[in-house]
Structure 1
Amino acid sequence: MSTPDQAYGGGARQYATGGQTTTAPSAGYAQAGQQAGVQQAETTARAVRGGPRKVRLTLSRVDPWSVAKIGFLLSVAIGIAFVIMIGVLWTILDGMGVFADIDRTVRTVLGENGGSTFDLMQYVGFGRVLSLATVIGVIDVFLLTALTTLGAFLYNICSALVGGVQLTLTDD
């Protein structure tokens, strides 16, 4: 035959505090068992208060306008870095004499007998290369801004279907 505690779901019960699971003493236990359970609960509560907290969040929607603004700023930064990189690279190659060597090789291959002189710097001069890099950087700004905004719309559609991205944040 069962005792009244067992008949109504008595006995040891598990409960979770913070991220830890412990067993609570039932009402039918002796006084010593209750004191041990209280001490264990106090220890668990102290460990939870001192330890890092965990929070689970779901990123279910992204605002396309804020993504467009951030995408625009990042693509402008990438465009500026691209133009500066091209300028530095051209300066290094010119300092090493690469353009002079290529010009001399092309002149040797074509021969200077035809009366037409070939000057490589008319085609790959610093101003012309930097202008082309600037045009490419501006096109890059428009394309990257459009792609990030399109990505935000696609993310919102996909997250409506599958629920979004779940994140677990802790405060270490």
Structure 2
Amino acid sequence: MHYTAGGVRFTVDGRPVPPPTAGGPGAPGGPTQPAPARPAQPSGLGGPRRVRLTVSRIDPWSVMKLAFLLAVAIAIMTVVAAAVFWFVVDGLGTFDKIQQFINQVVGQNTAVNLEDFVAFDRVVSLATLVAIVNIVLMTAIATIMAILYNITAALVGGVHVTLTDD
């Protein structure tokens, strides 16, 4: 099967077709012959195509960008989850019950006030700090892993992947 692009003819496997010679078939003024008949290929009987590829290199810059964006998304989820968890626990009255238990065990005149330690702004601030540390660590670790993969793939050849056309 031949394809033409920009005045150049190619076969199915990508090899260029030589131009017709003067006086030969297909040339201007030459004899014309009908194209040889090709057998009809039934569609769908060949099965899916399989391509075997090798991942031999991963760009560390693109890994860093992607890891940073995913880490930011996880950080936002962490802060929101901490806030929702605090509202649920506070709504159930858990902090009050724990404070009552502390007062019973230690005594009424205790200087320990649980609500000072688990106030909403403190919990959200701690979750934000943990999220920022996670952003830095996840981005750095993913980038270092991409560099280590490139070094290892240079030694052993990379990961072989087979893709199918289902």
Please report the RMSD computed on the Cα atoms of aligned residues, expressed in angstroms.
2.0
2:144 to 147, 150, 154: 150
Q: State whether structure 2 residue 36 is matched by structure 1 residue 46.
A: no
Q: State whether structure 2 residue 111 is matched by structure 1 residue 122.
A: no
Q: State whether structure 2 residue 153 is matched by structure 1 residue 164.
A: no
Give the Cα separation in 2 of the matches to 1:100 and 1:112: 14
TM-score computed with the length of structure 2 as normaliser = 0.72
Structure 1 segments (4+ residues) deviating >3 Å: 45-50
SS in 2 for 1:46: coil
In structure 2, stretches of 5+ residues that fail to align are 1-38
Tell me the residue number matched to 1:63: 59
SS in 1 for 2:42: helix
Q: Percent identity at matched positions?
A: 49
- When residues 163 and 48 of structure 1 are mapped into structure 2, their CA distance, relative to the original with a 3 A threshold, is farther
Cα deviations by residue, 1:132-164 (Å, 9 ceiling, x for unpaired): 000100010000000000000110111111100
SS in 1 for 2:145: helix
Please state how far the C-alpha of 1:70 moved relative to its aligned partner: 0.3
Cα deviations by residue, 1:97-140 (Å, 9 ceiling, x for unpaired): 11111111111111124xx5432111101110000000100010
Q: Would you tell me which structure has more helix in proportion to its own residues?
A: 1
Cα deviations by residue, 1:75-97 (Å, 9 ceiling, x for unpaired): 00111111111111111111111
Q: How many residues align?
A: 129
1:97 to 93, 96, 101: 93
In structure 1, stretches of 5+ residues that fail to align are 1-41
Cα deviations by residue, 1:32-80 (Å, 9 ceiling, x for unpaired): xxxxxxxxxx58x536775321111000000000000000000001111
